[in-house]
Structure 1
Amino acid sequence: MSETATAERSKATAAGRPPVSRERVRARREARGAWVLLGPSLIILGVMVAYPAVLMVIQSFTDYTVKNKVLGTTPNVVWFENYIALFSESDFPAVLMRSLGLMVVLTFLNMLFGILVAVLMTRLGRAWRIVVSVGLLLAWAMPPLTATVVWGWIFDTQYGVVNWALNAVTGTSDWTNHSWLLNPWSFFFVLTIIIVWQSVPFVAFTTYAALGQVPGEVLEAASLDGATGLKRFGFVVFPYLRSVLTVVLVLQIIWNLRIFTQVYALQSRGGIAAETNVLGTYLFRQGVGEFGATAAIGVVMVILLLTLSWGYVRSTLKEEEL
């Protein structure tokens, strides 16, 4: 028996408590070691995440502005006035619904095309698979701002190749100087193309890696039983992919609800900000120095993201308990 365990037993005997077993001593020692290893990470999370989050919540209940910051005065506590004004005296509800609708469309298209590309890669030969992988990596590696600028030129009013191609196909000049960004519907059409083009590679690579974990014997048995492609994927392959696709789905929901760069860059090229704002750009374009009002928007966004990802967190906790 180790000296630590002996000391623990001696202390317990002197105090009139039942002696501590060796397993409990070892568990306590491992717990202390785990907390020591986690300490630096917890400190960093506290400084980088917890403190700003608590400060944002506190500021959302005040009328804190840049004037208070410059003069060093204490803001007034207004309680829920910022939240009431946010939902009753601004266009935030319209922006919220627009962001949620765009998130649903983008997530569906990203997951659909990503899974289809992953399945296609399993059917391609080595050479074609390398070509497709390189193409996906190039699209994925391109910075969002650069991709938006490139696609913005493709849909440019005067020099865009899309307008030229449509004129060539229709044999008319109806698409000359046609603005794709002025109308909100065509604006979001272009935005959807850009984001899906850059998001599909992540879903495709992740799904393709997960497909490699499906046993070949199971697929062969399903084929011998007469299962078609869709049935084989739904009843045989999908159970092996469920956990991976769930993580990818949650990440897509979060990322698509937080888009900013692409929307802001397209708005700078001719989009009407008031009709095309999403949560990120709406928060950015609020009054300069209105820290209390913008903090309320940030709190609503955090609550929304936590709500959307809570299902995955709960299922993960249940799996750990089994």
Structure 2
Amino acid sequence: MTAVDSPTTRPQAAGGVTVQKPAAQRPSRRRRHDALVPWLLTLPTLLVLALLLGRPLYRMIVLSFQNMRLRELLTGVAPPWVGFEQYQKALTDSTFWGVVGRTAAFTVVSVTVSVLAGLAVALLMRRVHRRVRLAMMIAMMFVWALPQLVAAQAFVWLTDSDFGVLNYLIDKIPGVDYANHSWFVNPWQGWTLITVLVVWAGIPFLAISLSAGLTQVPKELLEAATVDGATAWQALRNITLPILKPLLTIVTTLSVIWNFGLFTQVWVFRSGHPEPYFQTLATYSYTQAFGQSRYSYGSAIAVITVLLMLGVMVFYIRQMFKIGEVD
């Protein structure tokens, strides 16, 4: 075998002289370079997150192993170290588990309704005229850009028991008396309003994202399915949804993370004093820490909440890696 034919050598232009060079050397360097580039690109973001969140998160974790009360806060005395006592107190408290169950139930219901409604709006956007679709996107962008605090306050005015337009319109229905009706006397009605607000605010992100994903569905496949006699539901189930599955997984996981940390809507609706049956993990942690001066107990609840959300985030990151491998 000549030097030209050998896989471990490469000819040079001058005089036909060959230099021995392992063939695997360049690919190995290229792989190391490709593995290093993503870390270099994300390094500024990681540094900013570490500076902004690192110390508060560390302080919260340390505080959860202590017994910080108002006396220690005012006097500056170091709070006593109690180990896992705060976690044991939370995990053996039936009230805490009631809040966990309520938060999980709300998350499941709100995410399911949001994703289904967002998918329906996205499918509708693909069928309407281009100008109508543009108007829908502009309207949803305004909703999406609206701060949560402002949106919640607007819903408070709409559902006010004395001057709310919702009660006024329902009261006009023959045989229905909704004058001065309070929606939050009944927990089911109150949670329905909160869920409607969260769904309304979440539809723009879901609809716009899924509408973009629908552009990747080949029209030829849908036309062929129609020619073969498939119904609209069969085409959706067997063609559209399998293609949208990676995107649906991502937006659903993000919705779970966002809705699980529900705070602003409940806090505004209940004027900063949510009743026990309107408490979520976020509001419960806050009221325990700052409402009852049980700072360490509130920190322990916050840490447990973060751990629960980390499970969902791990699933989300795994799905992102799977999608990257497919691409």
Instruction: Calculate the TM-score normalised by the size of structure 1.
Output: 0.84
| Cα separation, 2, equivalents of 1:38 and 1:238 | 32
Alpha-carbon distance in 2 for matches of 1:34, 1:193: 40
Closer, same or farther: CA 129–321 of 1 in aligned 2, 3 Å? closer
Which residue matches 2:143?
139
The whole-number CA distance in structure 1 between the counterparts of 2:146 and 2:107 is: 21
- The whole-number CA distance in structure 2 between the counterparts of 1:39 and 1:21 is 27
Q: Which residue is 1:189 aligned to?
A: 192
Which among 201, 211, 214 is matched to residue 217 of structure 2? Answer: 214
Q: Compute the displacement of 1:29 (Å).
A: 6.0
Is residue 111–residue 256 contact of structure 2 (8 Å, CA) maintained in 1?
Answer: yes
Matched residue type, 2:258: W
Q: Distance in 1 between matches of 2:42 and 2:121?
A: 39
Q: Residue 128 of structure 1: CA displacement?
A: 2.1
When residues 247 and 290 of structure 1 are mapped into structure 2, their CA distance, relative to the original with a 3 A threshold, is: same
Give a deviation string over 1:166-221, Cα, whole Å, max 9, x none. 2211245x211111122211111111111111111111000000001111111111
> In the alignment, which residue of structure 1 is the partner of 2:155?
151
Q: How does 1:1-322 map to 2 (within 5 A)?
A: 21-25=25-29, 37-89=41-93, 91-171=95-175, 174-268=177-271, 272-288=274-290, 289-320=293-324
What CA distance in whole angstroms lies between the structure 1 residues aligned with 2:247 and 2:294? 41
Q: Secondary structure at the match of 1:316?
A: helix
Deviation readout 1:258-288 (Å, 9 max, x if unpaired): 111111010018x752221111211221143
Comparing 82-91 and 93-102, the one that deviates more: 82-91
* Alpha-carbon distance, 1:60 to partner: 1.5
2-side partners of 1:225 and 1:22: how far apart?
52
The structure-2 alpha-carbon separation of the partners of 1:319 and 1:111, relative to structure 1 and needing over 3 Å to count, comes to closer
Unaligned runs of at least 5 residues, structure 2: 1-21
Deviations 1:72-120 (A, max 9, x none): 4333221211012113346211111111111111001100100001001
Q: Given the superposition, is the C-alpha separation of residues 149 and 283 from structure 1 closer, same or farther in structure 2, using an over 3 Å criterion?
A: same
TM-superposed CA distance for 1:36, in Å, is 5.1
Q: Cα 1:66–1:272, aligned 2, differ >3 Å: closer, same or farther?
A: closer
Gaps of 5+ in 1: 1-17
Where 1:123 maps in the other structure, the secondary structure is coil
Residue type at the aligned position of 1:236? I
Offset, 1:320: 4.6
Q: Match of 1:259, SS?
A: coil
Q: Structure 1 residues 70-79 or 233-242, which shifts more? A: 70-79
Structure showing the higher helix proportion among its residues: 1
Task: Give % identity.
Answer: 34
Q: CA RMSD, aligned part only?
A: 2.6
